[in-house]
Amino acid sequence: MTTTVPALAAPAANQPLVRTTIELRTPGANDVAIDIKFAGICHSDIHQARDEWGVGLFPMVPGHEIAGIVSAVGSDVTRYRVGDRVGVGCFVDSCRECANCLAGEEQYCLKGEVGTYNDRNHDGTPTNGGYSTAIVVDENYVLGIPDGIELSEAAPLLCAGITLYSPLTNWKAGPGKKVAILGMGGLGHMGVKIAHALGAEVTVLSQTLSKKEDGLRFGADHYYATSDPTTFTELENHFDLIVNTVAANLELEGYLKLLALNGTLVHVGIPTEPDSVKMVWLAAQRRSIAASKIGGIRQTQEMLDFCAAHGIGADIEIISVDQVNEAYERVIRSDVRYRFVIDVATFANETRADA
């Protein structure tokens, strides 16, 4: 028996998303069936729906910030029960055999993790994301959402939250550490909240001071405009860690000089063009430059539990299914504070059909 559910899909590159239906796989013994309640919009959804990375599989149902309720479980599922609050992030499978998978770093699977959308399952069938009313996922790639977080505010944590939590914890942000978050968008605002909760001294580096009030409310201790040249002289040799959330090429020399001895600049915003770095900029204070993406399942669950314990959720604007195309344009204009989340209940006139 096949199950079809309403979804929102890009029929081809650079075309508006349209309502459609998709087929869900029949749940297996280890599968969890989830009724999706909310789906966050990530900038990478836009990149992929518009085939800006050149690897688009169409029609494409985007969405890898998924929050919902378990509707059914397979006979061998032990971690979840019907009615549980759960999430699905950026991947839904991996090889489970390589050194990275065995270490709990499935996002760096040596054979390639299976993306939640715009990818293929191991059997060759395409994956479909969270812009739909339901999804079926192996229990090993499902996250439990604690009661302390609203489902709508939890959805963006499955990408934006873990994208910042992973480098902040891996590079040991905490008491006594001076941490800068570069950029105050969907990623950056989560970085400020998490770095503050970890106990670090937090500085926001943003192009202007227009979001200063928000930054301080989220927990920043300091807020500087990168458009002001005095920022780079005042803060030279200052930070232990800078997490760059900006997905554009920057003049790296100025930012690297803000790092103190043994400091690290970690990129989570990945520009499409290569950067140029002079080794003398690093050697001067034994600085490092690195990049990070998301976290594995274990670390993502740790992040959700941490956010619940500290009262952290994403600042969101909830939209309907029919506002997604408009929201894409607003994301490009940086006209959102700070993450769009789709209320999947707005598929209301579409009903599930079993055949």
Residues 332 and 280: their CA atoms lie apart, in Å, by: 35
274 exposed, middle or buried (CB, 10 Å; 0-12, 13-18, 19+)? exposed
pLDDT in tens, 318-349: 999 999 999 999 999 999 999 999 999 999 75
pLDDT for residue 349: 58
pLDDT for residue 348: 78
Contact by Cβ (8 Å): 121, 94? no
Please enumerate in sequence order all residues whose Cβ is within 8 A of that of 118, keeping only pairs 6 or more positions apart, or say none: 48, 55, 56, 57, 60, 62, 127, 129
Distance of CA 194 to the CA centre of its chain: 14
Give the residue range(s) of CATH 3.40.50.720 domains in the chain: 161-291
Report residues of the chain scoring pLDDT below 50.
350-355
Q: What are the distances in angstroms from CA 237 to CA 195, 258, 291?
A: 20, 5, 20
* Beta bridge partner(s), residue 115: 91
Record the pTM.
Answer: 0.95
337 exposed, middle or buried (CB, 10 Å; 0-12, 13-18, 19+)? middle
Q: Which helix or strand (DSSP H or E) is residue 114 part of?
A: strand 114-115
Q: Which helix or strand (DSSP H or E) is residue 23 part of?
A: strand 18-24
Contact by Cβ (8 Å): 47, 332? no
Give the residue range(s) of CATH 3.90.180.10 domains in the chain: 3-159+295-348
Q: Classify 3-159+295-348 by CATH class.
A: alpha beta
Q: For the chain, how far is it from start to end, CA to CA, in angstroms?
A: 6
Structure tokens at 36: 């999706």
Instruction: Put residue 311 in one of left, alpha, beta given phi > 0 → left and psi -120 to 50 → alpha.
Output: left
Residues 41 and 58: their CA atoms lie apart, in Å, by: 18
Residues 137 and 354: their CA atoms lie apart, in Å, by: 19
Type of residue at 87: G
Mean pLDDT value across the chain = 96
Phi first, then psi, for residue 168 (nearest 5°) are -65, -40
Residues 117 and 134: their CA atoms lie apart, in Å, by: 13
Contact by Cβ (8 Å): 259, 242? yes
pLDDT for residue 351: 44
CATH code at 161-291: 3.40.50.720
Structure tokens at 287: 């600085």
pLDDT for residue 1: 62
pLDDT in tens, 209-265: 999 999 999 999 999 999 999 999 999 999 999 999 998 999 999 999 999 999 999
